Amino acid sequence: MNWLRFPRRSARLAAAALALSFSPLVMAPLGMGAAKAGARLDVVELFTSQGCSSCPPADAVLGEMANRGDVLALSFNVDYWDYLGWKDTLASPDFTARQKAYAHARGDRAVYTPQAVVNGMMHAVGSDRTDLKNAMQSTGDLLDTKAVNLALRREGGAMVIETGKARGLLSRPKPATLWMVVFDDARTVKIERGENRGKTVTYSNVVRRIEPIGTWTGDAVTLTVPLPADGDAKCAVILQEGDGRAPGAILAAAKL
């Protein structure tokens, strides 16, 4: 496992410590799932690297989750291990910045690979199915009480985004950002140097870019934006408390 600016303790212990501030954990299967009508999607962001020898098992787990209907699983390749001998062909400094912004917002300085950030609130080792189940269950239970309706539809060459009005615990919401995520179903890479030399790894739901497209302060919003001109790329929208410098809980997500 690779680490960056993180104390000498395991990521599992760090995730467990964070979990103490949430409700009791209930085990949930990490197998196939289907989203119910109007149900909220869990969002799992895997920060991974082609230069990290511990990452391929986590990439495989994310591939399993990418096939679920109740999860938006996204792969963010980071660039801070490029100096080890292989330049990650899918990495972006923007993704590294997003991972560091999460660590800063949590206040734990935990930046490592493979790190999965679940619903914007907790982190876990991306290959640890048990920690991922627990994080999805505990954050999901909290977010269900703060659920916001979010729907997408195509209209010609545009995407129409509709959010509901804040309700319940969100009657006085924190300002939130609407993010558009453009990603590929899968990318297979033959790694020729570095820690994974000789391996061929398939990355699922590979993020090309993530960009802010609007803000939300609690009122119902309808927003129309052009569809990405990225060929076969897929598109999703995330409604997340905070902004790019201090990302918080993901209140809602939808796939187009």
Tens-digit pLDDT profile for residues 78-124: 999 999 999 999 999 999 999 999 999 999 999 999 999 999 999 99
Least confident of 17-21, 49-53, 93-97, 236-240: 17-21
- CB-side exposure of 127: number of CA atoms within 13 Å? 14
pLDDT at 171: 58
Sign of CA dihedral 206, 46, 118, 129: positive
DSSP characters over 117-135: EETTTEEEETT-HHHHHHH
Cβ(252)–Cβ(218) below 8 Å = no
> What length is written for the chain?
256
Q: Is 48 exposed, middle or buried (0-12, 13-18, 19+ CB in 10 A)?
A: buried
Closest residue by Cα to residue 41 from 114, 139, 131, 115: 139
State how far the Cα of 237 lies from the Cα of 256, in Å rounded to an integer: 8
Compare 171 and 86 and report the one with higher pLDDT: 86
Tens-digit pLDDT profile for residues 199-233: 999 999 999 999 999 999 888 999 999 998 887 88
Q: Report phi then psi at 143, rounded to 5.
A: -75, -25
Token look-up 């790694």 returns 191
